């Protein structure tokens, strides 16, 4: 059974070489992979709310990781895109260089789903070994396998 993170991942929505080093341009580059997602009812609306949320307060979690997100009516179910940057993206508001971002869109009507996913992500990202594996994955498919392995290891330790 897939874990709460791996079930949201799709190889076509994982950008392993984000080209932009500026925050807004990098957010746009990663968000674009959600265009046409069956659960994104209005991409422009979702993206606008994502940017507004990101301006409001930093979405940096530390360790070079950011969690840009929006709770919005523009998605029908929780959606995720992943972006990874070798050179890093400067998130000025968190004064941090981000190498890995997990972008989330969640329906306003389901705050529980959002909290479950964020909690699961934080548990996975707490481990330096997991973070290194996520940064080292060579393909989107390998990235997903790495997440699955990390989720399985976490379940086994509970």
Where along the chain do its domains lie? 6-156
Residue located via tokens 């895109």: 81
Q: Quick one: pLDDT at residue 114?
A: 87
- The secondary structure element, H or E, covering residue 153 is helix 140-156
Which whole number is the average pLDDT over 10-37? Answer: 96
Most confident of 2-6, 60-64, 133-137: 133-137
Mean pLDDT within 119-132 = 94
Residue 129's alpha-carbon distances to 26, 31, 87, 133, 140, in angstroms, are 25, 27, 20, 6, 18
Structure tokens at 14: 């994982």
Residue 3 binned pLDDT confidence (cut-offs 50, 70, 90): confident
Which residue is it, tokens 């993170």? 5
Query: 6-156: what fold?
Result: Mannitol-specific EII; Chain A (3.40.930)
DSSP-based three-state secondary structure for 73: coil
Average pLDDT estimate for 102-130: 92
- Residue 37 contacts residue 96 (beta carbons within 8 Å): no
Here the tokens at position 30 are 């990663």
pTM of the complete model:
0.94
């Amino acid at each position: 059974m897939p874990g709460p993170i791996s079930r949201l991942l799709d190889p076509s929505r994982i950008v392993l070489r984000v080209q932009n080093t500026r925050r807004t341009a990098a957010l746009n580059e990663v968000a674009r992979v959600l265009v046409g997602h069956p659960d994104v009812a209005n991409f422009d609306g979702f993206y606008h709310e994502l940017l507004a949320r990101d301006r409001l307060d930093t979405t940096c979690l530390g360790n070079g990781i950011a969690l840009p997100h929006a709770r919005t009516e523009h998605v029908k179910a929780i959606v995720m895109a992943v972006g990874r940057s070798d050179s890093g993206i400067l998130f000025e508001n968190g004064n941090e260089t981000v190498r890995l971002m997990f972008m989330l869109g969640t329906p306003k009507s389901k705050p529980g789903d959002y909290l479950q996913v964020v909690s699961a992500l934080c548990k996975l990202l707490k481990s330096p070994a997991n973070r290194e594996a996520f940064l080292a994955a060579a393909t989107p498919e390998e990235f997903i396998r790495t997440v699955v392995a990390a989720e399985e290891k976490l379940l086994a330790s509970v």
